[in-house]
Structure 1
């Protein structure tokens, strides 16, 4: 008699979903303060000083972070967006509301999500472009409104000249089909933010057809797009931990909501306070937190069906599948999604967490690190023990935090293939309310964008290999007595 197959799950009558929706505490700014963000100056009367102000905008899949840097004051201000405590205060969900043709960050008839991922998937789609511009314009307005009202006394006698610096994953930065359209959208967003009327679709479409040009006014901004990882390392390279005489080759992985961005690169101090970056590898893969969550949801949906579980359990779970801007943490393990359900071990049954983790590790260890040796970009000696920084919101999860230990282990046959964990440190010039030091990396990209003077961004080329001429016989290298 053939035994009955073991079902993947044992479901009790009291089984229930443990996921709950996070509380939305985004600040609803008063209309008069919101309108203040359409201006670029707090100047009253005649200017007695001039400052260059850099608005560093980290546009993430799940949330936006903004830091405004003033090099003359030697300070960078983290911009708060929410009523949370700690780091959550500085995270604005990456979602956009629309009513008719007008857009808002707070409310509306329609809610647009996955703004960044949609654009990266179809950068020429006008709907995606319009939403990106609208969202960035509203973020710029809100950040400027905060600075010009909260610090009005600081800047009431100062003329401000603005720079808008926005990050893009290093791999996308090197892709002209993404970089050029994105840079244009950022410039249009700045122009829309300074418009006297509401942020609406017709204004954006008109500017997309005829991009804005510099007028020489202090309303203009220098718009730059920077590799996110270059900005993220900035706080480290300007600290006392940075040794100009060292190799200064770093491996960094940023775990976001949608993707993991991993790069191996070298940093060079350049002239005029600028920094040059040479990228050996830049790999973006869809292994971020939200995609881990979706992978688990798919596994649970299939397993619940195979186990003849009540249909409402899967239906409740599916309601949480697609929100990349969710303001809550996903469970530490796939096994923690339900109460009253036991996961049965059986031959051939896959562990969704292990499968996803192995792919993520392969991206960083294989495609970002080992590939540099295989492509003859770096020697084994240069790679061995390279400093490794793990950052981004996902780095809080034990699932991703385990990558630091895995990267420090040496695979069989590759004793030189390991990385040494390092941590980003909180800069002294960053002005913000108290947060845990371990949470600083959530703001590290925005901080770097507000301070980094980017020089050249280079793509490393393979080292030339020594080529010896073909040798017909051993006598070609033999000198006889007759030739002496």
Structure 2
């Protein structure tokens, strides 16, 4: 049989084979696409997360020994060359690495002698400022962020098992960063690069391992960050404003000046602003001051441990139990005085400068007459934080300072201290309303379109151009 005949025979055989239809692709569900905006508050001691789905938001939570928990420890474990997750969710675990966020800030600023890096130096067996130390801190941060974001993504997928069936389903993540002005590009760049790498790792289909070697993390650090449009960073000090604007307590027409002091474990973030809600007209926000001070509640523990012995966990318990220890109160008085001085010399100065240039008001009298105060954050305490702010305002008014302990404010200031009510679009588990005070930043980050003027100096530039 010739070659031509064999080809013809093969053609006939193929034409008589049964034909199988390809399975049709699954039709997209009739629902609207899910567009989740993750607001991730990367904290010094604990991280928090609020997830938005269009006009409603809910809190990332997990079960810990039969209890619903929303605070995810920002510490990890390191031993024998391997990082592992802190499954017990402890603040200061044995073989732990903590204050990862503040270590990153010091790395970005090249402040290699910072005390917060000492534990990382020791764990890595590295010299201060060495390439080995820098690689170790970055590797630890990438491990923590990838595992934390992986847990959050899994939480969303469990709640919405049909995610991904609509071709336009999507997730976005915005992470808080500890900066207060446009000049700190080093910190912003470093945190964004880590976020993109961590999110790419979190979006894999297979579950993430609870441990990974330093070598493995270092190899990922060495690779370029992926170009992910869904990842953004935003100043945590500015995120606080969004909570106030969307709170049921947010005012209508007002000329009040609002001062928010958010006390975390690592920093105290202060922002000042005015907000005019013009009914059906466009809202107007004047962002007047933003500062970040390294005076968070864990600083108290560190100063006590440095000057008076014992470890930081001992002093944390003394502080939280309201101990009358004279050494503890000496440190509390010191922190209050330093913060009060910074508040007057930096925050109030920036506020009055922007008031004068932006609105033509008499700055000092206006601040004293129209300033309303809000305290938030997991580290909030009457002393040293409330005393620092209130005594700073008293100094501004030319009044003698006084110790303000246990909420015993004068009537004048008691009426000026306001609280943020739970926003109507935020879903909290039953009986968990007390969570709100620690969720302000995460909630603020959960909005899709955050203001472009992220800092007061950007606002001032716009005003001056006008």
* 1:64 is aligned to 2:47: yes
Structure 1 residues 268 and 194: alpha-carbon distance in aligned structure 2, compared to 1, 3 A threshold: farther
Q: 1:268-302 deviations in whole A, cap 9, x for unaligned?
A: 889xx999866433322222111112333445x2x
Q: 1:383 aligns with which of 350, 367, 381?
A: 367
Residue number in structure 2 paired with 1:50: 33
Residues in 2 aligned to 1:401 and 1:434: alpha-carbon distance in whole angstroms: 30
Q: Which moved more, 1:237-246 or 1:287-296?
A: 237-246
Residue number in structure 2 paired with 1:372: 351
Residues in 1 aligned to 2:136 and 2:186: alpha-carbon distance in whole angstroms: 17
* 1:332 is aligned to 2:330: no
Residue number in structure 2 paired with 1:290: 298
Residues in 1 aligned to 2:448 and 2:372: alpha-carbon distance in whole angstroms: 21
Q: State the SS of the aligned residue for 1:119.
A: helix
Residues in 2 aligned to 1:275 and 1:244: alpha-carbon distance in whole angstroms: 10
Q: 1:100-136 deviations in whole A, cap 9, x for unaligned?
A: 4454342899422110111111127222222222111
Structure 1 residues 55 and 105: alpha-carbon distance in aligned structure 2, compared to 1, 3 A threshold: farther
Residue number in structure 1 paired with 2:15: none
Structure 1 residues 397 and 60: alpha-carbon distance in aligned structure 2, compared to 1, 3 A threshold: farther
Residues in 1 aligned to 2:390 and 2:264: alpha-carbon distance in whole angstroms: 19
Structure 1 gaps of 5+ residues are: 1-43, 215-219, 302-313, 339-349, 465-484
Q: CA deviation at 1:397?
A: 5.3
Structure 1 residues 239 and 263: alpha-carbon distance in aligned structure 2, compared to 1, 3 A threshold: closer
Q: 1:254-274 deviations in whole A, cap 9, x for unaligned?
A: 11112212222455889xx99
Q: 2:441 aligns with which of 436, 442, 445?
A: 445
Contact 2:344 2:396 survives alignment (8 Å): no
* 1:224 is aligned to 2:232: yes
Q: 1:211 aligns with which of 215, 224, 240?
A: 224
Residues in 1 aligned to 2:317 and 2:28: alpha-carbon distance in whole angstroms: 44
Residue number in structure 2 paired with 1:320: 313
Q: 2:85 aligns with which of 100, 104, 119?
A: 104
Q: 2:64 aligns with which of 83, 93, 105?
A: 83
Contact 2:246 2:423 survives alignment (8 Å): no
Residues in 2 aligned to 1:274 and 1:211: alpha-carbon distance in whole angstroms: 41
* 1:179 is aligned to 2:171: no
* 1:254 is aligned to 2:267: no
Q: 2:427 aligns with which of 423, 431, 452?
A: 431
Q: 1:125-169 deviations in whole A, cap 9, x for unaligned?
A: 22222222211111111111112113436x475552111111123
Please provide the CA RMSD for this pair.
4.0
* 1:238 is aligned to 2:238: no
Which structure shows the higher strand fraction? 1
Residue number in structure 2 paired with 1:304: none
Residues in 2 aligned to 1:227 and 1:274: alpha-carbon distance in whole angstroms: 24
Residue number in structure 1 paired with 2:126: none
Residues in 2 aligned to 1:120 and 1:234: alpha-carbon distance in whole angstroms: 24
Residues in 1 aligned to 2:58 and 2:312: alpha-carbon distance in whole angstroms: 37
Q: CA deviation at 1:84?
A: 7.5
- TM-score w.r.t. the length of structure 1 is 0.67
Q: Which moved more, 1:371-380 or 1:181-190?
A: 371-380
Contact 1:333 1:353 survives alignment (8 Å): no
Q: Which moved more, 1:199-208 or 1:165-174?
A: 199-208
Structure 1 residues 407 and 390: alpha-carbon distance in aligned structure 2, compared to 1, 3 A threshold: farther
* 1:137 is aligned to 2:146: yes
Residue number in structure 1 paired with 2:20: none
Residues in 1 aligned to 2:60 and 2:421: alpha-carbon distance in whole angstroms: 19
Structure 1 residues 413 and 336: alpha-carbon distance in aligned structure 2, compared to 1, 3 A threshold: closer
Residue number in structure 2 paired with 1:393: 378
Higher relative contact order (CA 8 A, sep 6+): 1
Q: 1:413 aligns with which of 398, 402, 418?
A: 398
Residue number in structure 2 paired with 1:23: none
Which structure shows the higher helix fraction? 2
Contact 1:54 1:163 survives alignment (8 Å): yes
Structure 1 residues 142 and 90: alpha-carbon distance in aligned structure 2, compared to 1, 3 A threshold: same
